[in-house]
Amino acid sequence: MVILTKHLLAVPRGLSRKSKFVDRVRVYVKGGSGGQGYPKYGGLGGDGGHVIFTAVNKDSLYSFVNDNPNRRFIAKQGKNAKRMMLLGDNGEDLVVEVPVGVTISLDNGVELADLDEPQQKFVAAKGGCGGGPDNGFKPEKGQARSVRVDLKLLADVGLVGFPNAGKSTFLSAVSRAKPKVADYPFTTLRPQLGISFYDDGRRISIADLPGLIEGAHRNIGMGHNFLKHVERTKILLVVVDVNGFVLDGRSQFRDAFETVILLNKELELYKPALLDKPQILVINKMDTPGASEKYDRTLEMVTKAHEHMLKIPEELRPTRLFEFKSILPMSAAERFNIEEVKASLRETIEEAYAEDSYEMQDTLQQFVQFSNTELADTKVT
């Protein structure tokens, strides 16, 4: 069977790859209709082609291809049965290539597929059956619907923090990535991915994600555009400014401890399972005046967070607190303690992967034991 291929990855004419980052697109998909049967001679119409999404190793999702500006993907119809060709050919499948790490969902949010491995496939729209004796030789129409394609970055580490906490500076310090860095909020308006290299050849991928603000779980500010990318990361690196944070003149100032608690709350409200990920806290900008005293005070409050929660308004208190594997001071701008942070990241990631491997082996062992028990209890008659 001939298969047509379309790419959701191509860059529209006149648009450079560096100028646009798209992590969500809504497309219309329609399977091909079946072919008409030939009742006089029992001829069978061909089945319509499917629209199939397949995951490929790409790191970006673009909204449309040059020849599909309307974002419509329609598979071919099945061929009609004829007197001299009683078996109509099936319609051609249409394969739509999407990056590894996308989820496919309906407009109401119901998730249909999660393509997190290369070459995973999902039939987004089924083709209709061809006409035959089971349907009165009348062909069926192909499935038609609109679906959302969301890209969630795959990375070992997700940087979590309010705007201007120093995440971009940290990423540029530990990798070859060159994110925009400036002393004002929202310098990161799209996710940045960097690779941190170690002397023995180990590599760790780090995603610098757009800064959160209070209310992000309700899609305020960058909102879900940020939070959905956290889901794919293996561990969380929480970055806070030792001096605290205030978004603008209309916003309330939050010290470093309050910042940690509010970040905790936003992740919990968006998806409580995010707090299952291992977490590391780095307190940044230790090169600023008075940083040592502020760090000591913040460290004491974070390590005894339950005792200091009363200073946080009740509606902002998380029900489940971060459980940091380590808490480290850092100055990303001055490269202070960068190597210690890298070492902590590596140790935590390797522990996380080792735990996953152990759980997988334990599950496999339980399955084998169950299967053996079932076989032992089965009597051959």
Q: Which of 119, 136, 158, 145 is nearest to 27 (CA)?
A: 145
Identity of residue 194 = G
Strands across the sheet containing 279-284: 192-197, 203-208, 155-160, 233-241, 279-284, 324-329
Residue-range domain boundaries for the chain = 4-151, 155-356
Beta partners for 241? 284
**Whole-angstrom distance, CA of residue 269 vs CA of residue 267:** 6
Q: What is the pLDDT of residues 112-142, one digit of tens each?
A: 998 888 899 999 999 999 999 999 999 999 9
Of residues 49, 154, 155, 150, the one with CA closest to residue 98: 150
Counting every residue written for the chain, the total comes to: 381
List of E strands, the chain: 4-7, 24-30, 51-56, 72-74, 94-99, 102-105, 111-115, 121-125, 144-151, 155-160, 192-197, 203-208, 233-241, 279-284, 324-329
Give SS3 for 372: helix
In this prediction, residue 9 carries a pLDDT of: 43
CATH architecture of 4-151: Distorted Sandwich (2.70)
CA distances from 255 to 3, 245, 306 (A): 58, 6, 17
CB 149 within 8 A of CB 98: yes
Q: What is the pLDDT of residue 14?
A: 34
**Beta carbons within 10 angstroms of residue 305's beta carbon:** 18
What's the mean pLDDT when you consider all of the chain? Answer: 80
Q: 39: part of which helix (H) or strand (E)? A: none
The backbone torsions φ and ψ at residue 224, rounded to the nearest 5 degrees and listed phi first, read -65, -20
Q: Please tell me the predicted confidence (pLDDT) of residue 311.
A: 82
**Beta-sheet pairing, 72-74 with 102-105:** unpaired
CATH architecture of the domain covering 155-356: 3-Layer(aba) Sandwich (3.40)
φ/ψ of 153, rounded to 5, equals -55, 140
Token pair belonging to 363 = 């599950």
pTM of the model: 0.64
Q: Hunting for tokens 């489940």 — which residue is that?
A: 320
Average pLDDT per run of 10 along the chain, which is 381 residues long?
46 38 78 95 95 79 50 93 93 89 87 89 96 94 92 81 86 72 41 84 82 48 59 90 80 89 88 92 97 96 92 88 96 95 94 70 49 47 39
Report which residue type is found at 316. L
